Amino acid sequence: MMQTSESAAHRGGKFRVAGTFWIVLASVAGAAMLAANRAPARSIESPIFFRKMAGQLGPVLYSAETPSFDLFISRQETDVVLHDEIAPAGELPRGKITVVNAYATVLRLRFVNASLPTSVVPLAPVRRSHLAQFSYAAVAYRGIYAGTDVILRGNRRRVSFQVILSPGADPNHVVLQLAGATSIKLNAHGDAMIHSGRDSLVLRRPVASIKGSKRSFWGAYKLESGNRLRFIIPALASQSSAGFAD
């Protein structure tokens, strides 16, 4: 366990060791329980929902689960635990139940040169019929850069970001680092295809909007060295030619 903590500290800094260790441990060890308690399958386009963790996983404030990945959001970063859809493997001939194959890899999403720790707030509360408490359709990093908020959403197959800019804010400084990625490629739609070993995650092409405006428009990703994605936001003066998001 000491070696695991030292390795985590080397990758991400000593102040995150305990939180990261318990995030991954809880995600892998509790994967079978999550699978058993999930709501009935919905369309892959249906949104995922975030729930408050209330100190259950140290620094983690909100989490969300899907059959292929789980999200754990803290003030510093978002950890994405990638895993196969987990189901009981059946019984052995002598009645012994086999162990669930709970393999997982972790992608750490962190904004470069951001104002940390940032304020994390939930958005769009809903009361789902199978849960006693509220859950949320999105989570926002407020003021992660000067005059800039970033909203995180997702569905069962991808994660998406919306950048909210205050008037006069620099639209070109949003850079996301993806620790743990073994390859990153952009597809024909501008989405980022993130691979970590045998697992993968889709980051949808980003959307941008001006604070106070109801209109949003498409941005793009630029792949940079060090597993980084720079958000390319069209100049504010040319919004009409940028293409509005649906």
pLDDT in tens, 73-128: 999 999 999 875 444 444 444 444 434 344 568 899 999 999 988 899 989 888 66
- Average pLDDT, rounded, for the chain: 75
- The answer to whether residue 111 sits within a structural domain is yes
- The answer to whether residue 50 sits within a structural domain is yes
- The answer to whether residue 246 sits within a structural domain is no
- Among 38, 45, 90, 92, residue whose Cα is nearest residue 67: 38
- The answer to whether residue 63 sits within a structural domain is yes
Q: How many domains does the chain have?
A: 1
- The answer to whether residue 203 sits within a structural domain is yes
* Residue 157 per-residue DSSP state: S
Find the domain containing 228 and state its range: 2-241
Mean pLDDT across 206-231: 92
Judged against a pLDDT cut of 80, whether residue 175 lies above it is answered with yes
Q: Where are the beta strands (DSSP E) in the chain?
A: 51-52, 62-65, 69-73, 78-82, 105-111, 119-127, 134-145, 148-154, 158-165, 175-179, 183-186, 192-196, 199-203, 207-210, 216-218, 220-224, 228-232
- The answer to whether residue 76 sits within a structural domain is yes
- Among 232, 15, 227, residue whose Cα is nearest residue 107: 227
At 73 the pLDDT is 94
- The answer to whether residue 159 sits within a structural domain is yes
CB-based burial label for 191 (10 Å; 0-12, 13-18, 19+): middle
